[in-house]
Amino acid sequence: MTPAESAYYELGRRDRKKLETRAALEHAALTLVAERGLAGVTVEDIAEAVDLSSRTFFNYFPSKEDALVGASPASAAELRERLEAVPAEVPVLEALRLMSRVEAERVQQQREQWLLRLKVFEQNPSLLPRLVANGTETERAVSAAVARRAGVALDTSGYPELATAVAMAAFRAAMMRWSAADGRPALADLVDEAFSQLAAGLPNP
């Protein structure tokens, strides 16, 4: 049993039901938009697909776009804590790789859902600004953890912000390769490869 599965079964019945409902709405939204396009799907369509009311839909998501974006596998706080758990003597780039690899393994556990989500994003570029906005809080939290690890202040040297931005870009590039290859090889392996190229100074291939 994975850590995510263990955490799921530790929840009470009511909370598990909420997670299941949320996941069902996300999947219905992604499936319908992949089939019909963003303009061809309404909140009512999504709710009806899982036999729920529109009112229930809005208990989980403010809009159909939010259902498509869904929730990140890890929150900003989780990523920060994961980075801070890496021993202090580990260099920043390697610590960011370890943090990103765990995230990649969590995405891999939801392979079909994430491949569908990435397909929908590719087909509907208007969703990208929302995705970027959702990542701002995460990037700031990770930058703060990098700053503490490096012993510098945020918004001074620029190092924490740059290191975090580069790590996030490496993760996104690995995700795009993973999506293009239909989820093979494992996303964690592609993340490792991306960080290896960064560590080598991005030499010409």
- For residue range 131-161, what is the model confidence (pLDDT) as tens digits? 777 778 889 999 999 999 999 998 899 999 9
Q: Can you tell me which residue has the tokens 């974006």?
A: 69
The pLDDT of 55-76, averaged and rounded, is 86
Which pLDDT tens digit goes with each residue over 7-48? 545 557 778 888 899 999 999 999 999 999 999 999 999 999
How many whole angstroms separate alpha carbon 184 and alpha carbon 136? 28
Distances (CA, A) of 135 to 104, 123, 168: 16, 20, 9
pTM (two decimals): 0.82
How many whole angstroms separate alpha carbon 128 and alpha carbon 68? 11
The pLDDT of 60-80, averaged and rounded, is 84
Report the 10 Å Cβ neighbour count for 35.
Answer: 9
